[in-house]
Amino acid sequence: MRLFRAIAAVLLAMAVMAPRSWAAGIPTADRRSGFSFMGPDTQAIQNDDTSNPGMLWVKDGEALWNARAGAAGKSCADCHQDVRAGMRGVAAHYPDFDAAEGRPVDLEQRINLCRARHQQATPFAWESRELLALTALVGAQSRGLPIAPKADGRLASFIATGRDLFMQRQGQLNLACANCHDDNWDKRLAGAPITQGHASGYPEYRLEWQTLGSLQRRLRSCIAGIRAQPYPYGAPELVALELYLMQRAAGMPVETPAVRP
């Protein structure tokens, strides 16, 4: 309880701090991956594929990629062939606009749309081992490539919504995402470093979770942390936030599957 009160006191203090970069965000020259805020031991885990626990999901994803499923009896490989060639660079562009849905979808949603439309199979549940595995597999094919959101005018209003949500104070602590990740990065909260919040490695393995998790899981966790009601998985608000975060991180390298504390 004392620790909780201390964290709450720090967060409340941050809520009234003068913003460092509220309107302009973080200058490109100052942007840093969450990797740079980690200790050397955690960095070593991410850098070594034989130690990175997220690679277990990537391996599971390889099996799922080649497994036929649904009434159509098709596998991902039947349409996209070898994942290393067919999916190179794909994750760096998501979320992307889906014309049939008339809205942007993130990579998890794209996988489930393909599963429903082309395999005629039941979509995977959010945060399921299978969905995380396929997302991690596709994401890993873009490792080292720059995040490159598509220049699609249909996405403009959704990106604006995501930016507004990033800047919007909410919850009992009256905090916005920007209060931590734009205004107070490189400071500490209850002993842990405050990062810039760049979504460059999802799905990622978090030591606090002891498992792999999606960006939407992390966003919901942050929203709950400021004592606001999290949006449900797949909500348009979460996808809009994802869109803005990828715009905010444009040019930074993809790290999937990243490892974080």
Catalytic residues: 222
**Which residues are bridge partners to 143 per DSSP?**
254
Measuring CA to CA, which residue among 253, 62, 44, 229 is closest to residue 144?
253
Residue 197 near residue 166, CB atoms below 8 Å: no
Measured distance CA(159)–CA(182) in Å, rounded:
17
Report d(CA 45, CA 50) in Å as an integer.
Answer: 8
The secondary structure of residue 202, as a DSSP letter, is -
Q: Which residues pair with 205 in a beta bridge?
A: 212, 259
The helix (H) or strand (E) run that includes residue 141 is none
Give Cα separations from 257 to 19, 138, 226 (angstroms). Answer: 32, 10, 26
Task: Compute, in degrees rounded to 10, the torsion defined by CA atoms 41, 2, 17, 186.
Answer: -10
Burial of 59 (0-12, 13-18, 19+ CB in 10 A): exposed
Count of CA atoms in the C-beta half-sphere (13 A) of 81: 4
